[in-house]
Structure 1
Amino acid sequence: MTSRRIISTEKTILDKDDHDLTFDSGSGQQDPSSTAPAVPMDVILKLLAFTLAMVVVPIGSYFATVHTLFKGNSTYAGALAAIMANVVLVGYVVVAMSEDQTEQLEAQKKQQGKKD
């Protein structure tokens, strides 16, 4: 196999500075870089809330019911904790799907607004 030789006048990625890596839109002016977050803050907060619920709800339901509701039977309390974990998981899926549908509806409204 052959390897590519670097010509001495050619810059490698390590030799290029930030000015060489910026993109030009063709108008002679450089586009400012976007500093907006890749993921919206409300999505991060929902994920953190469901993560906390995934830890607290099953463990809390186990310890809350093992001696009160099930009279020390840890099998039933563990089963309830597993069911509660699934409830939290299904809740997250429902919230994520409804959020996705609202984005699609907003896009449709924008398209209809442009047609009118």
Structure 2
Amino acid sequence: MTSRRIISSEKTILDKDDDDFQPGPGAAERSSTAPAVPLDVILKLLAFTFAMVVIPIGSYFLTVNTIFGGNSTYAGALAAILANVVLVGYVVVAMNEDQSDQLEAEKKKQQKERQGKAE
């Protein structure tokens, strides 16, 4: 088996990879400093994370002695149910957000088609 020699004038694979990362002309115009995840998505995640911690634990300690008379089994069951309610709420909000994004994309597409027909 023979191997290919790299001539000094040729670029190696490593040199070619380095060229991919060099900014070319107009690279500053294409650069985006916008965050990868929108702020409203981060805020929703933080809110549901806070709710996932506070609601079940809070409900346990509020109900164990007041409503259930010291029965920690029922208070724990209620806490587990409320944790699932928070989780299902997060899934529903995420699905609605995803559907609204799809509807906006469809509206933009329809508007572009109308503009194309008008011209």
| Common fold: TM-score over 0.5 | yes
Q: CA deviation at 1:35?
A: 1.1
Structure 1 position 56, deviation (Å) = 0.2
Higher helix share: 2
2:74 corresponds to which of 76, 87, 90: 76
Give structure 1 stretches of 5+ with no counterpart: none
Kindly provide the CA deviation profile for residues 15-42 of structure 1, in whole angstroms up to 9, marking residues without a partner as x. x4xx861355xxxx32222111100000
Q: In the alignment, residue 102 of structure 2 is paired with which amino acid?
A: Q
Identity of paired residues, percent? 71
4+ aligned runs moved over 6 Å, structure 1? 3-7
Report how far residue 114 of structure 1 moved. 1.1
Distance 1:21 1:80, change over 3 A: same
Matched, 1:36 2:43: no
Shift of 1:111: 1.0
How much is the aligned-residue C-alpha RMSD, in angstroms?
A: 2.6
Take 2:50 and 2:37, find their aligned partners in 1: how far apart are those partners? Answer: 19
1:60 matched to 2:58: yes
Query: What TM-score results when the alignment is normalised by the length of structure 2?
Result: 0.78
Aligned length: 108
SS in 2 for 1:67: helix
User: Are the structure 2 counterparts of residues 6 and 104 from structure 1 closer, same or farther at C-alpha, using a change threshold of 3 Å?
Assistant: same
